A and B are shown apart, each in its own frame.
Chain A
Amino acid sequence: MGFIRLTASVILAFALLTPGLFASGFESTGIGLKARGMGGAFRAIANDWTAAYYNPAGYAFVYDNQLGANLGMMHLRNELVPDYRMSGTYESGFFNDQTIYNQNEIYTMPSAGFIVRLPFWGETVFGLSAYQPFDYSISWTLYRPPLAYNDSTSSYLPSSQYNNNLDVVAFQLTAAREFMEEKLSIGIGLQILRGDLVFNNLYMRANPLDTTAYPDVLSDRPYDKIPEFTSNDGNGWGFGLKGGMLLKLNEKINLGLTVSLPFDLTIDGTTSFSFIMPKNGDLINDQDTTGYQPGNIGYLFAVGNPVTFKAVFETKLRLPPSIGVGFAYEVNEKLRLALDAEYTLWSRFEGFEFTYSGFGLLPLDSLSVVDNFFKYNLSNPVDWNDAGKVMLGCQYDYNEVLTFVGGVSADQTPTKNGIGFMPQFIDTGDKYGFNAGILFHIERWEVGLITSYYHYPDMTIYSADDIDQDDNADQFPGEYKASAYETILAFNYWF
């Protein structure tokens, strides 16, 4: 028991000492039937195909071939009460002081894999699996320009204004073997990573005519900020590694160690730009004023027609490595407990910096002020901390047919006091996950249902700060509430 206490103490100390951050960030909640039911505490158990994700070394102790699949259905139920005013005072069209929900969506996270034991290099167990180590999807409608800015935008104003649909799929070849029979195994997974990104954002751009060269009225409030909607849709490929070790200390106690090393992905694709331009009909119609005729910059910035075009973009997705440790204890024949900790280097993720090229046709693009304004490279920086996560799970075999699983998890948040907090990544603080599920064993089949709830603390962002000093706000002020529900349906088949 001394060793148990020591191990548990080490894991707890490791978890508590990790700096504050939500280990999830945009990490998926995990895969599998038992594993998800136990809150992700599976590194020291790892006895089905999902060991590819939790601990590849577990494959070595899987003595039958297996095929499995699961479908996670995630529903983010977040709320935002915007408080986005210039300098906390001046309204620019955000739905301030009103509770807004993220757009209703249940996004799915399918995964599947199989394990085969082949007579290579002693008896090495191989597996091929596909799963999503990172997945996040959220969309908001938070803005409509003031009527005085432009009262004719309803037909073309985007609804998915702040949107992040980020998927990273890992196609993983896993190999594991025992190095000490029934005692120690080591496994490794080679990953091909496919990243898909749809990232929409609204940038309140400073009106470029706010200079002495142009009439004041063109950039006085409410024409001081020009909404620029961007929708970046692209993908990229990369590589990653998974490694793990599983040590059976005795008949009752397992210890697992894991490491995950995803390499950076270069995402490229197409960006659709849409600038909601000021509409100042009184200027256009005023017979006494000159310079507001078609073809003139004054016309472009007063007539109210949207400026839309496309370009090619490239950005870097810097995925975070992580290390994990797991501990499993078989209390008796029916009950098993597991405690895991994971530490993710979220500080590697720096947000997105978009570089554009191949612009479509722009109005008046011979003017440098127009060119510089419309073709400006945009960024969405974040400043995140590394983060830890602790998971505690239990498995209870009720009888030969039924198994109950349950688990809790505590994730630190990567966000540093809200720096760079945007609606595309709702990570309001250290979160707690509660998981429960039921598994049915029917001959060679194992099917089950897991449901999870994640509780986030409320968060208030007080100002629209510009982190990277590019004159665009990098955080969205308001009061945030967040929670998430997930349901997993899964089956495993042994053969």
Chain B
Amino acid sequence: MVKYLKILSVVLILAAIVFSSCSDRGSNVPTSTVLPNWGVSPKLFILADTLLSTSPQLMFQIRNPFGILKTAIYVPQVGWPPPLGEGRPLPLLILLAPQNGDEYFYFTHGLQQLADEMIAKGEIEPMVICCLANDHVFGGYFYGNSYPAGFYDDIIGSQEDYRLLSYLYNDYPFLINSADKRGIGGIGQGAYGAFRACIKHPDVFTSITVADGPLDFDGTTDNNGLIDLFDDALIEQGLLNEDSIGHKFDSSSAWPISRMFIGGSLAFSPHDTSITYFFSWPFLHNNPPQINVTARDTIADEATLVTSVIKDLEAYKKLDFHLPFDSTGAKYDLIWNMWLKNNLDSLHEAAGASPLNNLNMWIATSPQAYRNYHDMTMSWIDFLFDQGYTPDTLVYEGYPGKPARSNEYIYDLMRDMLLFHNNNFGN
């Protein structure tokens, strides 16, 4: 009997091993995240209002007769009042596009799905994200302040009526109208524009997130940065050491560095420094405002004046500009100094004591960034630390074969940007 029990035991042990080793563990494959059905809406703000007499805003912007500011806005549905949503108060994030970026720039890099996913997973709280387009004619005006470029200092960050923020708070009443629930960010020219807005409008934003951009025009040595790109712009067009570049300089999209300097020059060194005008709006469908220029002040120097780019426009919009460099690619101090007045450190100094004191800053930079943006960004970071600020910084690189030169990794950076703003917005 004992013998058979032993044999039975052996058989049972073997059977137990067999059955336990064959059990189905399942696959462990994660389930997919269910996204809410929140969308992105284009939104056009007309910033050429007859009721606004204090600022021409975008009224003179080239090929923008209606003075339209293009935006695309991500609105979580929970913000809308019931039954559409939950009437939940939401913070606001404004993102500025880089050169050649339109209002969909961040969305074409996955912002909507990223925000949807992060909100669905509880990584961030819902927020409204308003993305601004850069100029579509020359790729961008650095969000500067001039007649041809538009008066972005007045548009972005101002809390007065008929500006971006007032339009947003009016159209989206569930937005929390409070500085500590308001963030801004950008990459490239958008990075410059975001910091410019924060300096021009202290205490309007609680947080800023930027990635490589022209944040210090003259770089770490005060003699590089954009200065190193002067001859590149001329070489692009085959104009280095050519005579009369002012009549030859072109804005072809094949020459992105040239276009950057055109946009910057229209913003920082326009030929027309002051325009006296009056205008009327005929209130007829599809008719733009009628502008009558009565007087102009211009820069009395023609050494680097470019007259070949702005053409075939109505007379009041024939707004030429001065390049900050001459035909040899050397900086032309008279004009370059006008650029430097728009450098962030100059704006910071002009703004008075510590305009960024209450701003939480996050700055990403890639040593692989093109156009000396890394050098300029590092110089700006050094400046901030010298001024006593403590920005969060991220130095990143692309993977082999895919260097982080410009916008390649904005998808990945946006995750960090959203998290940073979310953390600063609080509950």
Q: Contact residues of A with B, CB < 8 Å? A: 73, 75, 77, 86-87, 89-91, 95, 98-101, 103-104, 106, 141, 144, 146-149, 151, 154, 159, 206, 210, 216-217, 220-222, 224, 280, 282-283, 286, 288-289, 402, 404, 436-438, 449, 451, 453, 471, 485, 487
**Complex alpha-carbon distance, A436 and B112, angstroms:** 58
Q: Which residues of B contact A404 (CB under 8 A)?
A: 10
* A99-B27 Cα distance, complex, nearest whole Å: 9
Name the contact of B408 in the complex, choosing from A95, A220, A282, A286 (C-beta under 8 A): A220
Q: Which of A101, A106, A282, A402 contacts B7 (CB 8 A)?
A: A402
Residues in A with CB closer than 8 Å to B412 are 89-91, 221
Q: Nearest chain A CB to B318's CB is how many angstroms away?
A: 25
Q: Which of A106, A282, A437 contacts B112 (CB 8 A)?
A: A282
12 CB contacts below 8 A, A to B, read A87-B397, A87-B398, A87-B399, A87-B400, A104-B26, A147-B116, A147-B117, A148-B110, A151-B35, A282-B40, A286-B108, A288-B102
Contact A101 B110 (CB under 8 A): no
B residues less than 8 Å from A91 (CB atoms): 412
Give A90 to B408 CA distance when docked, in angstroms.
12
Q: Which of B105, B112, B398, B402 has the most CB of A within 10 A?
A: B402
Bound-state Cα–Cα, A104 to B26, Å: 6
Given contacts A101-B27, A148-B114, A438-B7, 6 further A-B pairs with CB under 8 A are: A87-B399, A101-B25, A146-B110, A148-B117, A148-B411, A282-B112
Say yes or no: B108 contacts A282, CB within 8 Å. Answer: yes
Residues of B contacting A220 with CB < 8 Å? Answer: 109, 407-411
B294 within 8 A of A: no
Chain B residues closer than 8 Å to A280, beta-carbon distance: 108
Q: What is the distance, in angstroms, from B8's C-beta to the closest C-beta of chain A? A: 11
- The stretch of B16-24, B47-55, B374-382 in contact with A is B16-24
**Cβ of A220 to closest chain B Cβ, rounded Å:** 5
Shortest Cβ distance from residue B148 to the other chain A in the assembled complex, whole angstroms: 21
**Does B104 count as interface, using CB distance less than 8 angstroms?**
yes
B14 at the interface (CB under 8 A from A): yes
Q: Of all chain A residues, which has the CB nearest B401? A: A206
Across the interface, name the chain B residue whose C-beta is closest to A438. B10
On whether the beta carbons of A449 and B40 are closer than 8 Å, the reply is no
Does chain A have a CB within 8 A of B221?
no
4 shortest A-B CB distances, which residue pairs? A148-B110, A87-B399, A485-B21, A148-B113
Whether the pair A487, B18 counts as a contact (CB closer than 8 A) is yes
A288-B136 in contact (CB<8A): yes
Q: Please measure, in the bound complex, the distance between the C-alpha atom of A449 and the C-alpha atom of B10, giving whole angstroms.
A: 11
Would B27 and A149 count as touching, CB distance under 8 A? no
- B residues 103-131 with Cβ under 8 Å of A? 104-105, 107-114, 116-117
Q: Does B424 contact A (CB under 8 A)?
A: no
Closest to A283 in B: B108
Q: How far is the CA of A438 from the CA of B18 in the complex (A)?
A: 13
Query: With A100-B28, A103-B27 as given contacts, are A282 and B107 in contact (CB-CB < 8 Å)?
Result: yes
Q: Mark B28-66, 1 if CB is under 8 A from A, else 0.
A: 111011010000100000000000000000000000000
Could you tell me the distance in whole angstroms from the C-beta of A450 to the nearest C-beta in chain B? 8
- Residues 384-427 of B, flagged 1 when their CB comes within 8 A of A and 0 if not, give 00000000000011111110001111111000000000000000
Complex-state Cα separation, A64 to B117, whole angstroms: 71
Question: Could you say which residues of chain B place their CB within 8 Å of the CB of A144?
Answer: 30, 32
Q: How far is the CB of B143 from chain A (nearest CB, A)?
A: 19
- Taking a contact as CB atoms under 8 Å apart, the answer to whether B24 and A286 are in contact is no
Q: Is the CB of B30 within 8 A of A104?
A: no
CB distance from A349 to the nearest CB of B (A): 28
The smallest C-beta distance from A347 to any residue of chain B, in angstroms, reads: 29
Tell me whether B28 and A221 are in contact (CB under 8 A): no
The reply to whether the CB of B350 lies closer than 8 angstroms to some CB of chain A is: no
Complex Cα distance, B409 from A451, in Å, reads 52
Measured CA separation A147–B399 after assembly (Å): 21
- Whether the pair B402, A224 counts as a contact (CB closer than 8 A) is yes
* B40 surroundings in chain A (CB, below 8 A): 282
B11 on the A face (CB < 8 A): yes
Q: Could you tell me if B33 and A221 are in contact, using CB atoms closer than 8 angstroms?
A: no
Nearest CB in chain B: distance from A223 CB, A? 8
* A77:B399 contact, CB within 8 angstroms: no
CB-based contact B18/A451 at 8 Å: yes
User: Shortest CB–CB separation between residue B33 and chain A, in angstroms?
Assistant: 7
Is the beta-carbon distance between B33 and A147 smaller than 8 angstroms? Answer: yes
Q: Contact between B408 and A224 (Cβ–Cβ < 8 Å)?
A: yes
Whether A216 contacts B21 by the Cβ 8 Å rule is: no
Q: Do residues B102 and A286 form an inter-chain contact, with CB atoms below 8 A?
A: yes
Given contacts A100-B27, A100-B28, A148-B110, contact A453 B21 (CB under 8 A): yes
Q: Which residue of A lies closest to B39 (CB)?
A: A281
> By the criterion CB–CB under 8 Å, are B113 and A147 in contact?
yes
In the complex the two chains form, is A217's CB within 8 Å of B21's CB?
Answer: no
